[in-house]
Amino acid sequence: MAVGNEVRSACRYQARIMITIGHHDCRLSDDRETGERMNEARDELLKRLENEARLLRRNLWRALRAGGGGHAGGSSSAADMLTALYFHRMRLKPSEPDWPDRDRFVLSKGHANAALGAVLAQAGFIDDALLDRFYHFESPFGMHPDIKVPGVEMCTGALGHGLAIATGMAYGARIQNKSFHTFVMLGDAELHEGSNWEAAMAAAHYRLDNLTAIVDHNKIGQSGRIEELISLDPLADKWRSFGWEVREIDGHDMGQIVDTFDALPLKKTRPTAIVAHTVKGKGVSFAEDTYLWHSNSVDDEVHARALKELGGA
């Protein structure tokens, strides 16, 4: 029912996957045994993940340029957690995207698809060149995830759908005695949608501890600060009162992210909600912490400025 602990521990602190993109298949080997080496590996792991995340941000801005614009804010705030999911936590086979035992990831805040596309390219699910076709005519890589793209689990974009879908996936694992874990990433303003709370109530009732919701808590929606739209506070209490185990983390601190992912499920018989405090637009100063960069145009000049800050060419 739950993801077996043996299996999960076996895929912690992998080295090879960090080096060679497109070889997640090997994740089940190379387990480190001693505490010493694990600590060593952890430092190495974090450094690699941080590098990967930097690349991810460069790649997502690259996509935004190709599209002439897009959702820089929510893509950037999610980047570190997406990296840790795809390059550390999730059991995946990029060469076999429909591998039945793969972990599932649903990007409920589908407008962050530039980041998802970037991580899927980096992980080897899709051709890197697709990033340059963001928003293009007949491209499978549009503003929102399309299930036809290898590695994408569901068409999202309309907010408030992903948690119910992920609940179905996690329940599907239970019914079929599969040990995969389902992750879903939600926007914070997205939590205004009541459909989330239907799913939250149900998933807790089902005791789906193979389900983890990550709230990208960047405090901003489309029109402004959430506190001024409809306040979510106290957010952790809401999840708790709906029966979820909650952990609040800094969604840009790779150590905290990895430690939390490695500790899943936080509690047997409960789904986990990770409330990740993040900065919208993280990584590019002019895009940080402002609703103006929820979605915006990106031309060559803006792209160049962003890339400079991201240590890119």
Partner 1 sequence: MNMGASTTAPWREASANQTRLAFGQALLAIGERESRAVVLSADTQDLLGIRPWIANWPDRFIEVGIAEQNAIGIASGLATTGLHPYVCAYAPFIAARSMEQIRNDVAYANQRVVIGAAASGISLGVAGGTHHALEDLALMRSMPNMTVIVPADVNEAYHATLATLDIDGPVYLRLGGRTPEAPVTEDSAGFTLGRASRLRPGNDVTVIACGAMVELALKASDALKAEGIDARVLNMHTIKPLDREAILQAAAETSGIVTAEEHRFAGGLGGAVAELLAVERPTPMRMVAMPDEFAVVGPTVRLREKYGMSAEAIVAACKSLVG
Closest CA to 57 of 34, 36, 74, 33: 74
Strand extents, DSSP E, 82-210: 104-107, 182-187
Q: Is 140 exposed, middle or buried (0-12, 13-18, 19+ CB in 10 A)?
A: middle
Instruction: Give the residue with the Cβ less far from ligand TPP, 94 or 142.
Output: 142
DSSP designation for 270: S
Under the binding rule (CB under 5 A), the answer on residue 218 touching Mg ion is yes
Which residue, 136 or 303, is less far from partner 1 as judged by CB?
136
| Eight-class DSSP state of 129 | G
Binding site for partner 1 (CB under 8 A): 67, 100, 104, 106, 110, 135-144, 146-147, 153-161, 163-173, 175-176, 178, 189-190, 192-195, 198-199, 201-202, 205-206, 221-224, 226, 228-230
Least distance in angstroms from the C-beta of 188 to Mg ion? 4
Orientation angle between helical segments 35-67 and 300-309, nearest 10 degrees? 170
Stretch of 11-19, 34-42, 176-184, 200-208 contacting a second copy, by CB under 8 A: 200-208
Q: Which stretch binds ligand TPP (CB under 6 A): 96-104, 182-190, 230-238, 262-270?
A: 182-190
- Under the criterion CB under 8 A, does residue 205 sit at the interface with a second copy? yes
What are the two backbone dihedrals, phi and then psi, of residue 225, each rounded to the nearest 5 degrees?
A: -75, 140
- C-beta of residue 213 within 8 angstroms of C-beta of residue 191: no
Q: In Å, what is the CA distance from 233 to each residue of 188, 230, 238, 294?
A: 11, 9, 8, 21
Nearest to residue 79, comparing CAs of 66, 92, 63, 68? Answer: 63
- Interaction of residue 223 with a second copy, rule CB under 8 A: no
| The one among 221, 265, 271, 283 contacting ligand TPP by CB under 6 A | 221
If binding is defined by CB under 6 A, does position 189 make contact with ligand TPP? yes
Binding residues (CB under 5 A) for Mg ion: these are 187-189, 218, 220
Binding residues (CB under 8 A) for a second copy: these are 192-199, 201-202, 204-205, 230-232, 234, 237-238, 240-243
Binding residues (CB under 6 A) for ligand TPP: these are 71, 73-74, 77, 109, 111, 157-160, 187-190, 216, 218, 220-222, 280, 294
